A and B are shown apart, each in its own frame.
Chain A
Amino acid sequence: MIDASIERLLREFTPQVLGTVVRRFRDFAAAEDAVQEALLAAATQWPDDGLPANPRAWLTQVALRRMTDRIRSESARRRREEDLLHRSEAAPEHLAPEPVGMEEDDTLVLLFMCCHSALTPASAIALTLRAVGGLTTAEIAKAFLVPEATMAQRISRAKQSIRDSGIPFQLPTAGERTERLRAVLHVLYLIFNEGYTSSGGAHLQRLELSSEAIRLTRLLRNLLPDDPEISGLLALMLLTDARRLARTTSEGDLIPLDRQDRALWDRRQIAEGVALVSAALRKGAVGIYQLQAAISAVHDEAARAEDTDWPQILALYDLLRRITDNPMVALNHAVAAAMVNGPANGLELLDALNADPRVANHHRFHAVRAHLLEMAGDAPAAARHYRAAAAKTASLPERNYLLIQAARLADSRN
C-alpha cells in the first residue's frame, strides 16, 4: 500500500509531467502510457528508497526515458537496426531541464484535450481522471464498477479519438475558448455527481470521485482565477458536498434536504463555497454554475428547513430558466414556486411540462408531482406518482426512498 502523502504528490505532478512529455514528443497516447509507467515506478520505489530530492524532475526523467525507449524499440522493430540503436544514450534534448512556468499551461491544455467534445462523456471522464487526475486504470475501473480491461480499452480508445481528431497540443483559440471551457466544466461536474449521488452505504469507495472532482476544479481555478463560472462550479461542489454526511443513513438510505441533521453539514466548506460564489456573482457574468451554487448557498445558510428563504430561491430559478432550457431546472423551479405560492401554482407549472418528452418520462417529474400533490393534501394521487417515479428510476436508494414515501401515505390513511 503506498503512502497517502506520496499518492497525493504523484497525482499533483501527473498533469505537469505529462504536459512536459507531450509537448516534447507530440504523441499524447504514448506519452500518457509513459507517464503511467513512471507513476508506477515511483509508487514502488519511493516508499522504500525515500522521496527523491526533486520528485517532479524524477518523474519527468523516468517518463522521458520510457518515451525514448519506446521510440527506440519501435524504430528498432521497424528498421531492424538493433545494433545501431542498442545501448545508445537517450537523445540529450529530451532530458534537458524544463523551463520554469510551462507546466501550468500544460495542465490546462491537458484538461482541454481530455474534455474535448470529440469524446463521449464516459471517455472524457475516464481520460481526465487518468491523465490529469493521476488515478490508475484499476482505480477508475473500480470507481465505475467495470472490469479493469474494459476501462483500459475505454481509455485507449479515448486517446485514439484524440489522435484521430488532430487536436493540437495548445490552448484553444479565443474563439473556441468559451465552448471548450464549457465542456471541461461539464466533465468535472459529471465526475462530481458520479461520486456524490452514489456515496453511501456499500458504495463508499466511490466517495473519492467527488473529492477528486473538487481537487481538479480547484486546480482549474488556480490556473484561471478570473473565470466566474469555474468559481461557481467549485462553489456548487463544495456547497453540495458539505451535506454529504447528512444525506444518507449509515445504511445508505436517502434523507431529503428538509429532514437532514444540519449539525452534520460541513460549515467550513459552506463558508468557502459562499465566499466563492459571492465573489463570482459580483463579477457580473452570471452562469448556470454560479446560479446553482447560489441556490445551494441559500439552502445551506438556513439554520432549519423552515427558515429557508424560498422567495430568493424562486428568484434564482427564474434567472436560471432564462439562461438554460434544461428541463430539470424547470422541475426545480416548480418546487420553489410551490414553496412560495402554494402547491397549486407548482402543479400548474408541472402541467406545462407534460408536453416536453425530456421530462414527462423522467422519474424526477413524477417524484416532484408526488411531492406537490402531497403538499396539496391529495394523498392517493401522491402515492400513485411516488410509485410511478419508483418504477422509472435506475437508482436503488432512490427507488427505496420513493416506495417508502408511497407506503407512508398509504399507511397514514388506514
Chain B
Amino acid sequence: MKFILMMSAPKENWDSFAKWSKEDFERNAAFMRAFSQELRDSGTFVASEGLAWPNEARVVRARSDGEPITDGVFPESKEFLGGYWIIDVEGPEQAYRIAALVSAAPGSGGKPGNIPIEVRQVLSAFSDPGL
C-alpha cells in the first residue's frame, strides 16, 4: 500500500535552516541522498519532490467571478510543506519506520532534527478484501 511522507516546518524554521553551517548542509544533503537511494534500492520508492522556499508561497482562492485572489504574507508560525516522498510498502508500520528514519535527518551541529513527518495513506482503486 502506498503512503505519502510529508515533511513540514514552520516558516521560522526555514529561516534558521538558512543559517546552518556548510558542514550542516553537506551532512544533511548526504543523508537525504542516501535516504532516497535506500528507498530505491529497497523497491519501495514511488515518487519524491522537494519544494521551493516558502517566501514566495501564495494561497489562492477563486473570487465569485472565478478570478484568483492571492494571499501571501504569512506569520512565522505557519507550517509549510518542504517536500514529500511517496512509498509503496507492506503496511503502515513499515511506513512509520521509514518516516522515523527521515525524521532523524541531521540538523544544526549534526544532531538529529527529529522533524515531524506526517504519514498518510494514498487512496487507490484497490480495496483489501482482508482474507
Contacts and interface: CB of A to CB of B under 8 A. Distances in A.
A194 interface: yes
B47 to A, nearest CB: 8
A154 B43 contact: yes
A244 interface: no
A292 B129 CA distance: 13
A198 B126 contact: yes
A106 to B, nearest CB: 27
Nearest to A240: B129
Interface in B15-56: 40-47
A74 to B, nearest CB: 22
A288 B126 CA distance: 22
A147 B121 contact: no
A329 B129 CA distance: 10
A201 interface: yes
Contact of A201 (B46, B122, B125): B125
A19 B44 CA distance: 29
Interface in B85-131: 88, 90, 121-131
Given A202-B125, A362-B130, A146 B42 contact: no
B128 A394 contact: yes
Given A120-B90, A121-B90, A150 B126 contact: no
Nearest to A144: B88
Interface stretch (A87-95, A212-220, A304-312, A396-404): A396-404
A198 B46 contact: no
Contact of A197 (B2, B43, B126): B126
Nearest to B47: A147
A150 B121 contact: no
Interface string A377-414: 00000000000000001111111000000000000000
A193 interface: yes
A149 interface: yes
Contact of A328 (B47, B121, B130): B130
A394 B45 contact: no
A200 interface: yes
A150 B125 contact: no
Nearest to A126: B43
Given A150-B40, A150-B43, A157-B42, A396 B130 contact: no
Given A144-B88, A153-B40, A157-B43, A396 B131 contact: no
Interface residues of A, number: 41
A122 interface: yes
A327 interface: yes
Contacts of B126: 193-194, 197-198, 395
Q: Report which residue of A147, A150, A198, A362 has the largest number of chain B beta carbons within 10 angstroms of its beta carbon.
A: A150
A203 interface: yes
Contact of A397 (B43, B44, B125, B130): B125
B125 A153 contact: no
Nearest to A248: B125
B43 A153 contact: yes
A333 interface: no
Nearest to B89: A122
A252 B46 contact: no
Contacts of B45: 146-147, 149-150
Given A189-B131, A197-B126, A395-B124, A150 B46 contact: yes
Nearest to A365: B130
B1 interface: yes
A208 to B, nearest CB: 14
B90 A396 contact: no
Nearest to A394: B121
Contacts of B46: 145-147, 150
Interface of B: 1-2, 40-47, 88, 90, 121-131
19 contacts: A120-B90, A123-B43, A147-B46, A150-B43, A153-B40, A154-B43, A194-B126, A197-B125, A197-B128, A198-B124, A202-B125, A206-B125, A252-B125, A364-B130, A394-B1, A395-B124, A395-B125, A397-B127, A399-B123
Given A151-B43, A193-B128, 16 more contacts: A150-B43, A150-B45, A150-B88, A154-B43, A189-B131, A197-B127, A198-B125, A198-B126, A202-B125, A252-B125, A328-B130, A364-B130, A394-B121, A394-B127, A395-B127, A397-B127
When A and B form their complex, which 4 residue pairs have the shortest distance between CB atoms, in order from nearest?
A: A154-B43, A198-B125, A395-B127, A153-B43
Interface of A: 120-123, 144-147, 149-151, 153-155, 157, 189, 193-194, 197-198, 200-203, 206, 252, 288, 292, 326-329, 362, 364, 393-399
